[in-house]
């Protein structure tokens, strides 16, 4: 089935499946347990980085065995290309007051690290009880990070990845797996 999807997608051609849906599902369940064990007291606020984290975040909140609240932030540094522009723009600022809460930023992928660093600095000024990062993927090519992810799904290859929320020019987010684009 997943190989059929690789052949049926239009536009940019997909190369290989890097993480299949079952592997992703198992790891997200494990991450939910790890997060539940780590945050045993206090108010927990998950802040999803839109748009890429939406599928991961949706599955993750259902896997965390404790009460939590949820909000979103939207920042952009890519546009429609495969390389970061280097400039971060805040498109949506969370409405939730983070002061005194345990804030967990939920990211789809740590790539250049620019957006994540910018957001970490922004949230640190808002006096959370704690601030941590959960990322589904980490390429390990980022500039020095202000805050390394405490919770990590997978190490990612140095390829342009799509699926499970990750996109190329707003395409391929719907795929239930993560695949690489053909060069």
Active-site positions read: 111
Angle, CA of 147, 63 and 46, to the nearest 5°: 40
Q: Any idea what DSSP says for residue 37? A: H
Helix (H, G, I), strand (E, B), or coil: what is residue 72? strand
In 3D space, the residue among 87, 138, 147 whose CA is nearest the CA of residue 114 turns out to be 87
Cα–Cα distance measured from residue 135 to residue 36, given in angstroms and rounded to the nearest whole number: 16
In 3D space, the residue among 156, 167, 142 whose CA is nearest the CA of residue 76 turns out to be 167
């Amino acid at each position: 089935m997943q190989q059929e999807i690789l052949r049926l997608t239009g536009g940019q051609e997909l190369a290989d499946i890097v993480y299949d849906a079952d592997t992703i599902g198992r790891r997200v369940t494990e991450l939910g347990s790890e997060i539940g064990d780590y945050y045993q007291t206090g108010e927990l606020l998950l802040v999803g980085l839109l748009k890429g984290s939406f599928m991961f975040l949706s599955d993750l909140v259902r896997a965390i065995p404790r009460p939590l609240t949820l909000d979103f932030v939207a920042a952009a540094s890519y546009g429609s290309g495969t390389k970061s522009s280097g400039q971060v723009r805040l498109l949506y600022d969370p409405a939730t007051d983070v002061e005194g809460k345990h804030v967990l930023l939920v990211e789809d992928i740590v790539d250049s690290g620019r957006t994540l660093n910018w957001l970490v600095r922004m949230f640190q000024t808002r006096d959370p009880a704690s601030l941590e990062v959960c990322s589904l993927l980490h390429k390990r090519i980022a500039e020095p990070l202000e805050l390394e992810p405490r919770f990590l799904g997978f190490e990612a290859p140095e390829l342009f990845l799509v699926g499970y929320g990750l996109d190329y020019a707003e395409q391929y987010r719907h795929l239930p797996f993560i695949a690489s684009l053909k060069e």
